[in-house]
Amino acid sequence: MTSFDIPPERESVVNEEDVRAWLAELLDIAVEELPSPTEDLIDHGLHSIAIMQFADRCRRAGAAIDARQLAERPSIQEWLVLLSAKGSTG
């Protein structure tokens, strides 16, 4: 089971640790190698399919977010703001 697999019975809230872990997995890097929270993730290899996968993962974890919103604001900091505005970060 990868971190993208969520047991259906799990009630979850997307938090900063989740965001960083999922991004590291998508970028195939260690969490410690992620860019700073304000850097553009697209400049670091994040592509549209990965953004869609991230949005899907968030939705399955209970966060109502879509890929378009993420693509328009591609930084860890902005994604946390978006998720927080949706009431889904903990």
pTM over 0.75: yes
DSSP-derived secondary structure letter, 42: G
CB 29 within 8 A of CB 45: no
Q: Kindly report the CA angle at 63 between 48 and 69, in degrees rounded to 5?
A: 40
Region 44-58 average pLDDT? 95
pLDDT digits (tens, 9 = 90+) for 14-35: 899 999 999 999 999 999 999 9
Structural domains of the chain, with CATH:
16-85 (1.10.1200.10)
How much is the pLDDT for 64?
84
Q: How many CB atoms within 10 Å of residue 21?
A: 14
What is the separation of C-alpha 37 from the centre of its chain, rounded to a whole number of angstroms? Answer: 12
